[in-house]
Structure 1
Amino acid sequence: MRARLRDRAVSKAPRFKLTACAIFREEAPFLAEWIRFHQSVGFEHFYLYNNFSTDDFKAVLDPFIQEGLVTLVDWPRPVGQLSAYKDCIRRHWHEALWIGLFDIDEFLFAPDGRDVRSVLNAYRDLPGVCVWQAFYGSSGHVERPESPVVEAYTMRAGPDITTAKTIVNPRMVYKVGVHLSKFLSGEGLDTHRRTIVPGMPPKLDILRINHYWSRSLADLDQKIRRGDASTSALRDRDWHFDFESKLNVERDEAILKAMRRAG
């Protein structure tokens, strides 16, 4: 009941309708593209948690901070992803209608070019909207190309390799998850209002996430070395390169089409 009262109060005049929370490490070359892309599809603010980065991320983020677009939090905690999400929800439940919980290598958009905020209007009765992912591989790039991520990587896996991330109503979350969260009332559903269960086919037509899982093979090598913010287990190099080889099955340029429609 208290959560619903809070939600009604915030819904009347939210500071932001749609925000994103992400934890990052050594992502300086990719931050600006990720922020500007999501701003272009309707995200109004970004809560970014730095997790032991040693690159020039501050220089990249400074203009966005000055612009009022980014809130930067230093988060020097091992396996810090879930605790960062919890902190974000605790601090910002009162100012954001929705908070998307996803990563810097993940790009969320509506394939028909609509503003994501307008899409989410149809799901205000839900505590969370689960968005399916398409996994993208290296597209044959051994070294990092000069072109933007969304243009460089156009080959992806088939629908058998997928998962979902959640855009949450932060007043309704009681247990946050990397992929799916638990809520005080109801459950998160996908854009076709289905409960997420293992093995179900993804739906990428209303909202989707392009997960640029490896980027180039050189970037994949760096990803393996830096470890994971959601687990303390070391990354297995052979497994990662074998998995990447399955992510270049079909060409999918839906994100570029959506950008042209939106433009």
Structure 2
Amino acid sequence: MILGLVTIQRDRGPWLLEWFAFHYLVGFRKFYFYAHMCQDDTVEILLKLKKRLDINIIALPSPGDRIQLQAYQHACQNYMNEVDWMGFIDGDEFLFPTKAYTMQEALWQYDSMPASALGVYNVNFGSSGHVAEPEGLITENFRMRAEDSFYAHSRVKSLVKGRQQTAISSSGHVFATPGGTVDEQMRPITWGFMPDYVPSYRQFRMNHYVCQSREYYEKHKRASGHADASAAAIREEEWWNGFNTNHQMDDSMARYNARLRATMEELRLAMEA
């Protein structure tokens, strides 16, 4: 089973190695990276990572509204036939199986389902009290998250079956496919936000490190716009107060820590070769 990931990211160079290493560790093997108006060393890092990973780099040098949807449509038209399943996530999102060790193991039971895609619910992480951006790994530094009932946990991102006709919808969360989208409990997913359902994490989960530190918010997040809407949007203080959720400790990434660091070191050595 060949798994791919599509992502559009802007100036996340310091965190790329961890993001790629983690998703390689859980089973993704083909990456489609849309580099949007990157001014940092993102492209340089991607070219070094290509020594070890299968990464298709697509540069998007111009501003524009709903640029994420344009990138996703390009991926739907050009790359879906290369994979059995394709995930569509952001650079601050980490997608993983909650029981199985790899995404392939977790996806086998859904491979023959009549639906065309799976919607995976996210878990919202706050700053864990970090004012300055800490050194080290996102998955280790930020372990405080929202309470279970937090409204944004009803948000989903999609894993879409490959080799079928796929197109974007009105958001980057759910796609237009022949058989539609369900969640892991086979409940129909019709929108990127499903408040009438209790989010289920029995098989899959996506940790959303949406805030990181206060420094990161001030320097990067606040004025970065919305990739699936207005590029000029500003995230005001109300946004920070709403998403900086630090209600309970979460060690869901602990089982990956040692293997993640080993995978990062392997990639780092390949990058330096």
TM exceeding 0.5? yes
Please tell me whether residue 109 in structure 1 is matched to residue 96 in structure 2: yes
Distance of 2:165 and 2:119 partners within structure 1 = 14
Aligned to 2:127, what secondary structure does the other structure show? coil
2:177 corresponds to: 183
Preserved contact between residue 111 and residue 257 of structure 1 (Cα < 8 Å): no
- CA gap 1:148/1:68 in 2 versus in 1, 3 angstroms: closer
For residue 197 of structure 2, the aligned residue among 200, 203, 226 is 200
For residues 128 and 87 of structure 1, the distance between their equivalents in structure 2, rounded to whole angstroms, comes to: 18
Pairs within 5 Å for 1:81-160: 81-124=68-111, 125=113, 126-159=115-148, 160=150
Unaligned runs of 5+ in 1: 1-15
What is the distance in 2 between the residues matched to 1:259 and 1:187? 35
Moved more, 133-142 or 195-204: 195-204
Offset, 1:174: 3.5
The residue identity in structure 2 corresponding to 1:151 is E
The alignment-based identity, stated in percent, is 28
CA spacing shift, 1:238–1:68, aligned 2, 3 Å: closer
SS of aligned partner of 2:99? coil
| Aligned 8 A contact 2:124 2:145 in 1 | yes
Q: How far did 1:182 drift?
A: 2.2
3-state SS of the aligned residue for 2:87?
strand
Looking at structure 2, the residues matched to 26 and 261 of structure 1 have their Cα atoms a distance apart, in angstroms, of 26
Aligned to 1:231: 229
Tell me how far 1:59 sits from its aligned partner. Answer: 2.1
- 40-49 vs 166-175, which deviates more? 166-175
TM norm structure 2: 0.84
What is the alpha-carbon distance in structure 2 between the residues aligned to residue 183 and residue 259 of structure 1?
36
After TM superposition, the runs of 4+ consecutive aligned structure 1 residues lying more than 3 A away are: 174-177, 258-263
What's the CA shift for 1:113? Answer: 4.6
In 2: Cα distance, 1:169 partner to 1:76 partner: 29
Map of 1:58-69 to 2, 5 A cutoff?
58-69=43-54
AA aligned opposite 1:204: Y
1:113 touches 1:258 (CA, 8 Å); kept in 2? Answer: no
Amino acid of the structure 1 residue aligned with 2:76:
I
Q: Take 1:116 and 1:258, find their aligned partners in 2: how far apart are those partners?
A: 13
Q: Is the 8 A contact 1:138 1:244 kept in 2?
A: no
For 2:249, the equivalent position in structure 1 comes to 251
Q: Given the superposition, is the C-alpha separation of residues 110 and 68 from structure 1 closer, same or farther in structure 2, using an over 3 Å criterion?
A: closer
Q: Is 1:164 aligned to residue 156 of structure 2?
A: yes
Scaled by the length of structure 1, the TM-score of the pair is 0.87
Work out the CA distance in 2 between the residues paired with 1:236 and 1:112.
35
User: 2 CA distance for matches of 1:43 and 1:68?
Assistant: 10
- Which amino acid counterpart does residue 238 of structure 1 have in structure 2? E
Check the 8 A contact 2:221/2:235 in 1, yes or no. no
8 A Cα contact 1:139 1:248, kept in partner:
yes
Quick one: structure 1 residues 96 and 135, their matched pair in 2 at CA, closer, same or farther if it must change by over 3 Å?
A: same
Q: 8 Å contact 2:73–2:167 — kept in the other structure?
A: no
After superposition, give the CA deviation of every residue in 1:200-233 in whole Å (9 maximum; x if it has no partner): 2111221100000111111122111222211115
Cα RMSD for the two superposed structures: 1.9
Structure 2 portions without partners, runs of 5+: 263-273
